[in-house]
Amino acid sequence: MLTGRHELDPTVPMLVAVYVSWTGLGILRRSVTGLMDAALTVEEQDALRRALEPHLVAPVQVHALRSRQAGVRRFVSMHVLVPGDWSVQRGHDLLERMEADIRRAIPNASVLTHLESLEDPASWEDVPLDRG
C-alpha cells in the first residue's frame, strides 16, 4: 500500500502513467516535426517579403519563390529576372545583396538564387517541381 488509503492506491499509478504517456507523446511529436519539412511561419514569410521589397524595383522581378523549414534550418529559393543587357557582375551583385538581406531577416536561412533574363521567354514561367 502506497498511500495507506485503498481508493488512492490504484489512482496514483494511473495518473503517473497518463503523465508519462502525455510527456512521451509531446517528445515524439517534436521529434517527428523536426524531421519533416514545413512552411515558414507567417512572421518569417512577412520578413522575407520585407527583405525582398527594396530590390524589386522595375525592371527586376522575382518568381518561383519557394521557402520551407526543416528543424532549425530555413530554405529559400527564387529566380530573379533582370534585363538581358545587364553584366554578370551587376546581376551577381544584386543577388548577393538580396541573399544577405534575406539572411538578416531570417536567421539560419540557406538562400539559393537563380539569375534569369527578362527577354528569355523560358524564364517567364515557373518550372514544375515534378518534372520527371
Q: What share of the chain in percent tops pLDDT 90?
A: 58
Range with the poorest average pLDDT among 19-23, 69-73, 115-119: 69-73
Q: Which residue has better confidence, 66 or 7?
A: 66
Rounded to whole angstroms, the Cα distance separating 88 from 18 reads 62
Q: How confident is the model at residue 3 (pLDDT cuts 50, 70, 90)?
A: low
Residues 106, 94 contacting (CB under 8 angstroms): no
- 84-113: pLDDT as tens digits: 999 999 999 999 999 999 999 999 899 999
- pLDDT value, residue 111: 97
- 43-70: pLDDT as tens digits: 999 999 999 999 999 999 999 999 999 8
Q: Which three cell numbers stand for residue 120?
A: 528569355
Q: Which three cell numbers stand for residue 3?
A: 498511500
- pLDDT value, residue 47: 97
Show the 3-state SS of 21-36. Answer: HHHHHHHHHHHHHHHC
- pLDDT value, residue 26: 86
